[in-house]
Chains A and B, each alone.
With several copies, the nearest count.
Chain A
């Protein structure tokens, strides 16, 4: 009897497929189950096809689930566009309207006709097909019905009582309708869990880290961060500015940071490209800045609504000149909180630009988090509060970090610029100054590499196969490894959470401990592989599984790429 289940609901226009998924997710999170919920949409701006996939488990889960055990389809024509990206589990139960027979290619699954529309009408809630479906799912998978009701009450609070009652009837009718039962183990510990998206975790992390200024320009899939901080910052005395473009956004962020505030912007690929020049100023003038970049399909406008890992090159190499910067990458929603706080800590302590490379999958999926896990130390900028005559803004130090005064501090005045400059910030075009200051700025990276060797490692020791991956790929990789190792394979993974500077010592040790290395990433150009190669020696027989984004990585895909089970079985 399976611990965790995954089901999908597909509809269009007013079918409310996504609402049903939300309610199921909230209800399960409320009773302490672990949940991961993803959504997908057609090209239509509104009223087009939409789908919601929910995975539920009594034990922690790391990915969105490879395949659905149940699929509810209100119209098969809507399902068509998701088919290639929505794998169905063997024996998947497919619930559909009687008058909309499944296409031949679905014949092999357990198709069960259900008169959703009719049942909704019977309930007196004609629009509540989705609630009927939810009732069915609740019965099939033994979901917490009371807390579904609570979730409905919250969701529909603006509707009048009659409507809500009708919806409750629809829920009951749905659960009562004869449907296959899929026994599921574990009801959760009862203590409710936070249900958050990566963008929400990132925005909250900014508050936690003490960010008091945000400037941004809307762009999918990062916009929620702008919207949330626009709502939250004024509450805590900070401010949020929606600028005319990304050039202004990062400009305002660096300006605010120069004036003493912890500042951040959030964007996606196209915006990050536009910010390249200003990040160079943040780097040479040593003004802290935090940029959250939520990756989507590229290049150019690409596929704005889907995930990919192809902004790595630009993040670690983008911008002209020798430009020290730090790049972090979260592995999941909770990690989006921690990496964002670390981003502020590193930016403020080391006075340089820090890019957080999130991706659409982490940013927009909803996932349960234990509230207790959202704790993380906060570091402050080194500010000399009564500088004397000898104060030099860019004084030479061992770790390259020079104390930074901020406006308002008497005697701390300095004049800086994006030109090469000396210890006092005075422009210089001399080679000796340039070499000396390049060295100073780059020493900071060595200090960061020592202090922040951020990575995750899971799997066995001295593995037969070591997987290298990053970002949201870590989830499916983790689950694949668990699956493989329970089958007797010896696999482990090393997932850097800081990409620049890479934790080379730890990475090298991991590589040395592995018999074989497999690299897994969602970039056609193998950006992660090529980046690793530029810094560390990889075994000749290293395997690379790299493909375009636009479809999320599955554990099965990882298992196949690792090609270790065959050997175990053999």
Chain B
């Protein structure tokens, strides 16, 4: 049985500002879950804290809007506990790269079987406009009166470097394209990271939307998505930002590894019952 995008909607009204890019992301999520053939009761959405992290409240699945920075470990636990469920983590750039940076590194490395959508507005929206890891260097924000001193991170470059097996970039303004990327991410076997440029009209200005549209470029024809180096090159092009699937490889996932471990654990002909395990503590007379 399949479900329509509408069946993934809840009747809770988003708290987002009029014009926020996250509305379009939400729209894409509804469509992508349907397109990927997910069932609401067999889908788990986990987020951290932020404007973007409010998203699970607006999607009819098992949803958890958790703690700032912790979406990935929670999604990992959920996936290992319920491997048959589709598990998707969502959140903001600050949530995923500042306080959540370490989990991003290790979830990528372990190739956890989940999709992760990062709504990247280059700012801390919910706390009202402080610089974050993707805020361009030099930008003045509420917390950087004299300009942001820190070099900004390209989330896709970081994901590739950390070992994510599927890495793509999208733009919330392009609902069709984003929906397609989300669908592929959900279907990917392993950790699929999608960086979605999603304007914050309130703290990055009404212009951000146009600016992003202007600088995005589709993936160049003939790009070899299996090449780390080629993918990396598409992550630092100065002016432009490439959207599409930058990197895609097939390698064992965390679940694959755990299945293999279970095989070995049972295989060694050893104790696989409570009683047998206990016997090991009984000294022979």
Contact = CB atoms under 8 A, between A and B. Distances in A.
B81 A413 contact: no
A362 to B, nearest CB: 16
A485 B63 CA distance: 54
A278 B77 CA distance: 14
Interface stretch (B170-178, B223-231, B233-241, B268-276): B268-276
A256 B75 CA distance: 8
Interface of A (DSSP majority class)? mixed
Interface residues on B, range: 35 or more
B188 interface: no
Contact of A151 (B65, B127, B283): B283
Interface string A226-246: 110011101111010111111
B187 interface: no
Interface centre among B63, B125, B282 (most CB of A within 10 A): B282
Contact of B80 (A220, A241, A414): A241
Given A230-B145, A254-B77, A413-B62, A236 B99 contact: no
A223 B42 contact: no
B242 to A, nearest CB: 26
A399 interface: no
Contact of A194 (B16, B128, B258, B278): B278
Contact of B143 (A150, A227, A257): A227
A7 interface: no
Nearest to A252: B77
Contact of A411 (B41, B98, B142, B265): B41
A223 B64 contact: no
Contacts of B69: 245, 247
Interface string B45-85: 11001010000111111111111111011111111111011
Interface residues on A, range: 35 or more
B101 interface: yes
Interface string A167-204: 00000000000000000000000101111100010001
Given A195-B281, A245-B98, A416-B63, A255 B73 contact: yes
Contact of B99 (A193, A212, A217, A239): A217
A371 interface: yes
A364 B127 CA distance: 14
A364 to B, nearest CB: 12
Given A44-B15, A192-B285, A270-B68, A241 B145 contact: no
Contact of B106 (A204, A236, A248): A248
A251 B285 contact: no
B17 A46 contact: yes
B41 A410 contact: yes
Given A247-B73, A259-B85, A415-B65, A234 B261 contact: yes
Given A208-B274, A230-B143, A244-B98, A260 B65 contact: no
B131 interface: yes
Contacts of A417: 56-57, 64-66
Interface in B72-129: 72-82, 84-85, 98-99, 101-103, 105-106, 124-128
B4 interface: no
Interface centre among B64, B98, B146 (most CB of A within 10 A): B64
Contact of B67 (A151, A239, A301): A301
A237 B101 CA distance: 31
B106 A244 contact: yes
A31 interface: yes
Interface in A395-416: 405-416
By Cβ-Cβ distance, the 4 closest A-B pairs, closest first, are A255-B77, A252-B77, A255-B74, A251-B73
Given A26-B283, A245-B99, 12 more contacts: A45-B126, A192-B282, A204-B274, A207-B274, A231-B146, A232-B277, A237-B262, A244-B105, A248-B103, A255-B46, A371-B282, A407-B62
Interface of A: 26-27, 29-31, 43-48, 146-147, 150-151, 154, 190, 192-196, 200, 204, 207-208, 212-213, 215, 217-220, 223, 226-227, 230-232, 234-237, 239, 241-249, 251-261, 263, 270, 277-278, 281, 285, 300-301, 371, 374, 405-419, 426-427
21 contacts: A30-B283, A219-B127, A220-B128, A223-B128, A232-B277, A234-B264, A234-B265, A234-B266, A236-B273, A242-B144, A248-B106, A254-B66, A254-B77, A301-B67, A301-B68, A412-B62, A415-B58, A416-B64, A417-B66, A418-B66, A419-B65
